[in-house]
Chain A
Amino acid sequence: MGGLVSTMGIALGALEAQQAGMEVTTNNIANLDTPGYSRERLVVEEADPFVQNGIALGDGVNVTGVESLRDTLLNLQVNDEIQQQSKSQTYVNTMNQVQTLFPDDTTGIGQSISAFFQSINSLSTDPADPTLRESVLSAAGNMASAFNTTATQLSSTRQQLNQVVDQQVQQINQLSSQVAALNVQITGAGTSSNQSTGSLLDQRDSLVQQLSQLVDLSQIQDGNSLTLTTQQGAALVVGGQSYALSTENGSDGTQHVFSAQGNDITGEISGGELGGTLEARDQTIPDLQTQLDSLASGLVQALNSANAMGTDLNGNPGGNLFDPVSGAGAAANMTLAISDPSLIAASSDGTSGSNGNLANFSAVANQAVADGETPSDCYADLVFQAGTAVENGNAELTASGAMLQQLQQQQSAVSGVSLDEEASNLLLYQRGYQAAAEAVTAVSQMLETAINMGAVESS
């Protein structure tokens, strides 16, 4: 092939290629702010040359496709960091609420314990005084209700987290099924050649990123298909098939997470929002509850024995000040056993004027009542634990935030749309198109000349 007509063919091909380039550039610009969009690039190649009279002549340009620019490894790293980030964020958000249950000074359990022992000291100055006795009783009641409130709020936080787990599992399932559907589309599109899969890949990347926010993911790329499992291997998506996680209430009263195969994977999930939720619900909060319960039962036991060592205002041996409690639920169930202030056994010699037994109450303040610690120290320890949980979460959050930011910058360096770059492409394609159009005009004029000469070569 040769001659003017084929030259015209080359010029038209150039026009098409420049136009396609313009389309890709315009699409990039249009998606400048689209989340998850990876910039695309026109892929062109030289057409096979043709040989005329022993000379190989170029036959113009072929558009072979549109390439979406992404770095798979970087995407994996970003997703890993997102898992860590959203885990820490969820954990910190939850524990931030929990730590307010353990204030360090003028409210809460610590203050109520302090107020109780101060009321005992006050009563020791006038042990039969009804007002002072009443205030000991009310301080004891306040102490019980401070324990009740904190314990109740801890368990209701766990209840709320059960609902959160349900919601998160639903979201995971929804996203998994969307990924599976995209797997089908992408593998389908991949086989019918030249069809751009970029936008589908972008969609799937963005879904995987959303999944990474929820749970610790492991990804296996199988050709164009993506297999997703939890890091411990519970399948979520295999090819076009998604596997739904489920939740069920366990014997401990919390929602457990089960894989599609029916395995309890609650303890295995260590990343994403679900991981953060589970850590707070199943580790940190139960630890606080256990210590709170042991402080409550320790105090109740010590104060009950103090009361039992003395004589009340009616001359009878002291009974229980609080209903005995022990083990799990001790803090939630802490209740005053008496409502009559005269039943406080202040006396050590049986007379109403004696305050001798109050020393036994005061001694409890310096006695190891729980975990080898005094009541105040034990509560201080709770404050420390609650605060440290948030502090550590925050530190992880800051570290993974910085990491994530860096990775996302790298990701954007690969996939982000640069307006400057697109502007120069725009100029390039515009000029190319102009030049090709000039060529078409020139060839057309030459053809006209040739026709007028009446000598048209056969082609």
Chain B
Amino acid sequence: MRISPETSQLVLNALQNLENSEQQDIQQLSTGRRVNADSDDPAAAAVEVNLAYQMDSTNQYLQSISDLASELQTADSSLNSAGTAIQQAISVGVEGANGTLSQQDRTALAQQVQGITQQVLNVANLTYNGRFVFGGTADSQPPYQSDGNGGVTYQGNDGVNYVEVQDGQTIAVNEPGSQLFSAPGTNVFQALEDLSNALESNSSTTEDIGNAVTSLRSAYDQLTTARCFYGNTIDQLLSVQQSQNTAKIQLSAQQNNVVGIDLDAAASNLSNAQTAQNATVEAAASLNSLSLMDYISAIGAQ
């Protein structure tokens, strides 16, 4: 059979193929990605869409967790200071129940209690980023309003907001004031007002004062119990945060598996392609070095 005399096209095709493969290797090495176009691996590209989505979600969850945690911590520490203030009022009440005190002394104690009421009121009307955090979902106005005579009424609601902190898990992120300060039967402000009134009134007995202290104690207990919500939620957030950080590492590893490159393999592919290219070029150079034409002049000269 006659052999095709045209070798240049063969060489050209071989070189082009090698150059294509080199270009691909270089692109992979420079981007760190094996899939630089959907067509490089359509199935991997499709998986990457969802992995990228999960990565975005994870980052968003972490952001939300950190925003929430700082709000909840502020609320928690404010409630702590309210608790301390109420404890102080209880001490004042216990002191006031001492029969040896003069009415003048008691009036002074009542004023202390009123001061404490103001402190607790400030906590109950705590704002975070412009929102009244203890007003339930009615958080655009102060939930507790003083009537000017020591009486305080709750303007908030019982609404609770839930935020998704990881796929499929939502957690409650607020405790309405109606659970903290003005729970049915254990109203902090009512108890403080009663104590103040008992201390101020000439007619009240040490027993009256003692009763007021008792109901303040139970309001304090309710506040302390309800306040646990914040501590628990913060703990929960921190634990979710931890698992989200782990998830993030796993996702990133998964993304690398799906669309990332095996650095060693890509580098060795590149060097193989370069070796093959050199060999082809050398072979091509030697292919056309021999021709009968070279001998014609020699024969003709004989």
A residues in contact (CB < 8 Å) with B: 95-96, 99-100, 102-106, 110-111, 113-115, 117-118, 121-122, 124-129, 347, 349, 351-356, 359, 362, 376-377, 379-381, 383-391, 394, 401, 405, 408-410, 412-414, 416-421, 423-424, 426-427, 430
Contact = CB atoms under 8 A, between A and B. Distances in A.
B293 interface: yes
A288 to B, nearest CB: 11
Contact of A383 (B46, B64, B292, B296): B46
By Cβ-Cβ distance, the 10 closest A-B pairs, closest first, are A387-B38, A387-B42, A390-B39, A418-B5, A353-B139, A423-B292, A380-B49, A354-B137, A118-B60, A384-B46
A192 B157 CA distance: 108
Interface string B36-74: 011111110111111011001101110110011001000
A380 B46 contact: yes
B161 interface: yes
Contacts of B59: 118
B292 A420 contact: yes
Contacts of B53: 110, 113-114, 376
B164 interface: yes
Interface in B166-189: 170, 173
7 contacts: A104-B35, A114-B56, A124-B164, A351-B138, A353-B135, A416-B4, A420-B292
A362 to B, nearest CB: 6
Contacts of B267: none
Nearest to A376: B53
A356 B161 CA distance: 6
B101 interface: no
Given A376-B50, A383-B46, A419-B293, A121 B38 contact: no
A76 to B, nearest CB: 18
B292 A353 contact: no
Contacts of B100: none
Nearest to B163: A124
Nearest to A421: B5
Nearest to B13: A405
Interface string B282-301: 00000000011101100110
A359 B48 contact: no
A355 B162 contact: yes
B231 interface: no
B11 to A, nearest CB: 12
A102 to B, nearest CB: 6
Given A111-B52, A354-B161, A381-B46, A413 B38 contact: no
Nearest to A99: B38
B5 A420 contact: yes
A405 B137 contact: no
A105 B42 contact: no
A409 B4 contact: yes
Interface in B239-294: 259, 291-293
A354 B204 CA distance: 45
A415 to B, nearest CB: 9
B124 to A, nearest CB: 16
B140 interface: yes
Given A351-B137, A354-B161, A380-B50, A423 B67 contact: no
A139 B57 CA distance: 14
Nearest to A352: B140
B165 to A, nearest CB: 9
A349 B159 contact: yes
Given A118-B56, A409-B10, 15 more contacts: A103-B38, A114-B57, A121-B61, A125-B71, A125-B173, A351-B138, A352-B137, A353-B136, A353-B137, A353-B138, A356-B161, A376-B53, A381-B46, A387-B41, A423-B292
A377 B48 CA distance: 11
Nearest to B16: A401
Contact of B67 (A105, A125, A387, A394): A125
A427 B161 contact: no
A218 B287 CA distance: 38
B64 A125 contact: yes
B38 A386 contact: yes
Interface centre among A114, A127, A347, A421 (most CB of B within 10 A): A114
Nearest to B294: A423
A361 to B, nearest CB: 11
A375 to B, nearest CB: 9
Contacts of B5: 412, 416-421
B291 A412 contact: no
A1 to B, nearest CB: 36
Nearest to B168: A366
B67 A114 contact: no
Given A126-B67, A359-B164, A383 B38 contact: yes
Interface in B1-54: 1-6, 9-10, 13, 35, 37-43, 45-50, 52-53
B131 interface: yes
Contacts of A359: 162, 164, 170
Contact of A412 (B4, B64, B67, B140): B4
